[in-house]
Structure 1
Amino acid sequence: MTTISSTTILRSRNLAKPDKVLSTLLLRYPRFIHAEFMTHRVMTRNAASSRAIPIKKLIQDVVDNPVVPLFWGKNQPGMQAGEECTSEVGVRNVHLDYDEENTFGRTHDLVSREAAWLEARAHAVEAAQAFADAGYHKQIVNRLLEPFAHITVLVSSTEWENFLELRDDPAAEPHIQVLAREIRKCLEDESTIQDLKPGEWHLPFITPEELASTKRGSPTDPLMFPGHDVIQLSAARCASTSFKTVDGFDMTFEKAEEIFDKLVTSKPIHASPFEHVAEADAFYADKSRWATPQQHGNFVGFRQYRHML
């Protein structure tokens, strides 16, 4: 059922100014709160797209792991429900049996809130399959499934305070409260942070073995001058978030080069995945300024690879 999770992918502290930590997290949460998450502009995000995920794959994800509300608010004025509602709901019951034949049986019942929600999910799956059978594109069909779908989001930021203050709060929407608390757990775990000197790189989804095997400028400090191939691999794996329903970012160097080339040669360029890859900037304490703040983007203390292209 409903999944709300935050997993640390990579966290890096800039030793030039140790209060600046760049955290890359992989989130999974109900798609219906994604719009609220997107209001926080100091975050770099790449999210699974309904336009990119195959219909069959998204239907199966909604069947196997549907979003079901964690809090069933009772109707009242205002944006926030103060108490839960337990009333039964009268809806047409579709007993979802999603198999190779895509068969559905129908009855009519007054059912619990959970059962009614899943019946609505069954209607959506039935309609989505009908549109797919009629030849409609996934950018249309998958919209029917979004209320019951999760979204996978890769997010990187150095500035989390405002998000946590607003969303880990009793007045926030209940599901985003849970997400904020899961993110807070990741950010409070100091053991996940690597220390970077200015010039060293934050490379999400890159293993030490991959880093050691790539072409690079420094044999003693692979994070100082990582080869272009490992930068491409990191950026391509970040980009792959857009077409995945769950995590899993295995990718060869050859495939990464292909994806990288498509991103940089497209018109307009698709550059957002390159924001997660970043270099620790130098800080001039005597002047209280960073060496290249114009390349930080929405980070502080880290030069986004996007702004180096």
Structure 2
Amino acid sequence: MDETARGKPLLGEFLSTRRARLKPADVGLPDYGDRRRVPGLRREELAQLAGVSVAYYIRLEQGLSLNASPQVLDALATALRLDDAERHHLHTLSGGTGKGRRRLPAERVTPEMRQLVASFGDSPVVVVGRRSDVLAWNRAGHALFAGHLPADGPDRAATRPNTARLVFLDAHTRDLYADWHRKARDVVGKLRQAVGEYPDDRRLASLIGELTVGSPHFAQLWAEHRVRAWDTAEYRMRHPTVGELDVLQHSLPVPRARGIRVVVTTAEPGSPSQSALRLLDQPLEPADASAESDESADSPVRVTPVPRS
């Protein structure tokens, strides 16, 4: 990445967009209405709220100051009403460039990861890397999110499916979410977090460029600098095979595998959605093996009408 994409300019952009979204009334300041020339808070207002000098804050927002202290960052985060994910992102952008220059390890799925995936049984599971590349999935995970793609796609590093690319550039995935716009915001927020954590990842920068050019909606959301933590999220999905279902997606970090997460999809126990998820783990199989032997050799094989990944 060039210098314009590293942590300090990104820090200034993040501060500026967070400042613009706050109205004076939100923080107990007088609102002068039409006489205000800028959206949101002025720089001097934010500096006053955070207890720092205006000159220092301006240098910080312009990318001219060195790393701010944790105390200053916490004061700015409080003044800007940042949530936990945004606060963490602010600290990362301020002090993350040195960390980002370390050589990033190749992403691979270890036997321990595959054992972890298998432990979730018939729940859909996808293993994603720091750029949201799909590193592995089980049968149900493939069937739920990308049954129209080859099941062995994650095994080929050069052409692995990418969940962000699918959400913004793939028509099947767009139709998969009832509230696609909310899913899109979540995806962009996670990519924002990734750029803060890995500012020198060239392939990540290339992905951002590709999505910005290929999707005006992505470009608009990217400019907002919103951050989304990897945690849990509820979605209503409209699957082409098993129909509509309400799910909860859990993002779990993998120990000793920086940036890799296991995303597990569940549904309320005993619900139709849970039954639908279980169907996704079923391959096409003979309906009755004993009945098969009674049929003539030139008769078609009968199969159970369940989804196939």
Length-normalised TM-score, structure 1: 0.25
Q: Which protein has greater RCO, CA pairs closer than 8 Å, 6+ apart?
A: 1
Length-normalised TM-score, structure 2: 0.25
Which structure has the larger Rg over C-alpha atoms?
A: 2
Structure number with higher strand proportion:
1
